[in-house]
Amino acid sequence: MSYQNLLERFLTYVKINTRSDDSSRTTPSTQSQVDFALTVLKPEMEKIGLQDVHYLESNGYIVGTLPANSEKFTSKIGYISHIDTADFNAEGVNPQIIENYDGSSIKLGQSGYELSPKDFPNLANYHGQTLITTDGTTLLGADDKAGIAEIMTAMEYLVNHPEIEHGEIRVGFGPDEEIGVGADKFDVEDFDVDFAYTIDGGALGELQFETFNAAAAEISFKGRNVHPATAKNQMINAFQMAIDFHNALPDSDRPELTEGYEGFYHLHGFEGAVEEAKIAYIIRDFDKDSFEKRKTNLLTIADKMNQELGEERVIVSLKDQYYNMRQVIEKDMTPITIAKEVMEGLNIRPIIEPVRGGTDGSKISFMGIPTPNIFAGGENMHGRFEYVSLETMEKAVDVIVGISSYRQ
């Protein structure tokens, strides 16, 4: 179904820079996210007819309620999307609209970049559709402003069509998902639903309830710098220690060599000098036991190196980030069953695969609200090659409306 305000709403949202900042210690991490919630979303939520719209200063969420219009529904449902965009230029987003896409390469403005079917074969799935792309200088922000636009449009549609019966619905738009802390302070008691969905997935049909178990590791190496001319048996090169540490990890356990249920260590930071160096990893695995073994492996490598050095010069700091929400959701698959049946009823093939990443639902599920993830439509997210299909966004709205009116 086509929705009158969906495209305009989405274009309005993506043109506003709401990029998060992982160096910040505030919640939200950037003032632009606060401004977006209070000056854009709050008045719009109230205008379309949501009630009890309120901003939580404790966690940066803007929350609203669509009251039930039928007593036939026993469950309260929530929909969640995140306000922030990823670590890529988000200033001056200038979307391109490609109508009736013909399958050829798409020039991204005057940037010199293009979306080529050779590089991005998924473009073949969108022949004849309307695509929204970047101009090659910024990301698009479909992750996750497509989700916000879809939820808002679905709520507006339900308000304008009271003949569609539904139970009580809560919507929440929160900050800082892209830097991994957005749901840390999520207020389960305030949101008060039986189950929820994050509208934060990718291609049409994605329905996800398995995520990685995730941890971050920072390893510090304390070296000793002397003049290289007299370095023998005296210099301890922190860079070399970092290289040796990395080489002690399984060579095949890297993101670029893994897929499906395979976990990995991802080296994403390396800095310092001969005197002191630091490397940073993210650790990912679907299986909890394997996840724990990966963390233990880092500690074991450090212990061995310290024993060989005769003193503690390798220091490992580990922090768990989130866990595989399957552990929660598989206890009651109702949210998955409903979404699957709704999609099938709309002739959408459900793609139930593990998320090689995480969503806010990973944390919220462990807080007490089972929260699987549904497609929002974005492709090539987090960069200049990001795009989204308007038709896929419309189908996401269809799914939200369908779930909301599904009677168990």
Locate 76 and state its tokens.
């309260």
- Whether residue 255 contacts residue 283, with contact meaning beta carbons closer than 8 Å, is answered with no
What is the share, in percent, of the chain residues with pLDDT greater than 90?
A: 97
* Residue partners of 106: CB distance under 8 A and separation at least 6: 96, 98, 114, 115, 131, 133
Q: Give the predicted TM-score (pTM) of the model.
A: 0.92
Residue 357: what pLDDT?
A: 85
Lowest mean pLDDT among 42-51, 296-305, 325-334, 353-362: 353-362
Is 84 noted as a catalytic residue in this protein?
A: yes
User: Quick one: which H or E segment has residue 52?
Assistant: strand 51-56
d(CA 111, CA 255): 29
Give the strands of the sheet with 195-201, arranged side by side: 51-56, 61-66, 169-174, 77-82, 195-201, 373-375, 207-208
Domains of the chain (ranges, CATH numbers): 6-210+324-404 (3.40.630.10), 213-321 (3.30.70.360)
Is 177 noted as a catalytic residue in this protein?
A: yes
Identity of residue 376: A
Residues 242-260: tens digit of each pLDDT? 999 999 999 999 999 999 9
Residues 8-62: tens digit of each pLDDT? 999 999 999 999 999 999 999 999 999 999 999 999 999 999 999 999 999 999 9
Is residue 208 scored above 80 in pLDDT?
yes
Query: Could you count the other beta carbons within 10 Å of the beta carbon of residue 78?
Result: 23
Residue 2: what pLDDT?
A: 87
Identity of residue 68: A
Residue 232: what pLDDT?
A: 96
Is residue 1 scored above 90 in pLDDT?
no
d(CA 81, CA 46): 18
Residue 256: what pLDDT?
A: 96
d(CA 136, CA 280): 30
Is residue 408 scored above 90 in pLDDT?
no
d(CA 346, CA 327): 29
Q: Which of 44, 143, 176, 177 is catalytic?
A: 177
Q: What is the mean pLDDT of residues 311-334?
A: 96
Is residue 210 scored above 80 in pLDDT?
yes
CA distances from 56 to 37, 131, 170, 185, 245 (A): 10, 35, 14, 10, 44
Residue 358: what pLDDT?
A: 84
Mean pLDDT of the chain: 97
Is residue 297 scored above 80 in pLDDT?
yes
Q: Hey, CA dihedral for 27, 381, 133, 344, is it positive or negative?
A: negative
Q: Which of 84, 156, 176, 253 is catalytic?
A: 84
CA distances from 228 to 223, 224, 231, 274 (A): 14, 11, 5, 11
Identity of residue 44: E
Locate 211 and state its tokens.
């995520």
